[in-house]
Amino acid sequence: MLSLFSCRQPELAIDFGTANLRLIRRDDGIVFEEPSLCCFADFDSSPHLVAAGAAAAAMVDRTHSNLTVKRPLRRGVLQDIQAATELLRYALLSVLGRQRAGGPSVMIAVPADATQAERSALMTAAREAGLNSVRFINEPYAAAVGAGLPIEKPCGTMIVECGAGTTEAAVISLGALCLTRSRRIGGTSLDQAITDYLHARRKFLVGALTAERIKQDYGAERDAASQDEGTITIKGRNLASERPEALDLPLRELDGVVEKHVMHIVDVIREILNITPPELSRDIHTGGIVLTGGSAVTPLLRRKIREETGLHVTIADDPARCVATGLHRIMQA
């Protein structure tokens, strides 16, 4: 595998996700893991970084007019080079300190369908942050390595990497991607769908962090409750009374929101299954589908995929870190 990186072995690997940034060192594993967020002052005139990572996450929806919280990636690809550069600098300083003579060589995981322009933008941010000898590796491949799948064997393995911004389905055989399909939806899309539902149907306003918490609480409660039971308590602003309130929301109200989101992922899986060659289809029927990524545990997801495809579906161990784990294993190979 190291032939991918020519004559210089990578010292670091980066899993730069829509939700989280992880740095992996060859000898130590994951050494940095914080939200992919930056907070700037005077962003429109003379921007300078105020906070990054976990500190910036605490500021979401709590800033005054002089502060702006930026997310470098949207739907899995770079949308703000400056924010990406500052976040990478912050992470590198946290891990390596200020002594980085020449800059470390690095490999970065990217969506398999990332365009050349998207890859070039990320390359620019990485180099401006002080990184050197940058190489890219496809996220589904790294996730499959991290999940411990037998991708080097002459048989088809199907993986669905469910990230915060992108969902990618891939069929892998003999150590390479045979087929990939993706859709720019993920955990943040579901957060927004929950926000929109509460706004439109309940006239109740919540922020991004609260929406994510609702999604997590829904998942935990739905696993424990029967089909028509259970509620979760939500705190936000009632648009009718124009004041802060708590809302007890029945779980069944969110079932339709979650199911609609899940079916978009099922459509991606159907699309790739429809074009998979017969022998690889035979292998997938035997081995089933493996889910990775932080959104792999989305309620209803595994059940709906199983119902719609008839295939066995499993969730990888520690799915949110499969890409990072795979990058670490590739560096050690």
CA distance 182 to 113: 7
Looking at residue 333, its pLDDT comes to: 83
Candidates 3.60.15.10, 2.40.30.160, 3.30.420.40, 3.40.50.740; CATH matching 143-185+258-319:
3.30.420.40
Strands of the sheet containing 289-292, edge to edge, are 176-183, 167-173, 157-162, 289-292, 313-315
pTM: 0.92
CA distance 229 to 50: 44
Q: To which H or E segment does residue 324 belong?
A: helix 322-332
Q: Tell whether the model's pLDDT for residue 169 goes beyond 60.
A: yes
Q: Tell whether the model's pLDDT for residue 71 goes beyond 80.
A: yes
CA distance 54 to 50: 12
Token pair, residue 316, equals 């990888």
Confidence of residue 105 (pLDDT cuts 50, 70, 90): confident
What CATH number has the domain spanning 2-139+324-332? 3.30.420.40
- Rounded mean pLDDT of 148-174? 96
What are the start and end residues of each CATH 3.90.640.10 domain in the chain?
A: 187-256
Token pair, residue 240, equals 């009718």
Percent of the chain at pLDDT exceeding 70: 94
What are the start and end residues of each CATH 3.30.420.40 domain in the chain?
A: 2-139+324-332, 143-185+258-319
Looking at residue 102, its pLDDT comes to: 59
Strands of the sheet containing 204-205, edge to edge, are 204-205, 231-238, 243-250
Question: Quick one: fold of 187-256?
Answer: Actin; Chain A, domain 4 (3.90.640)
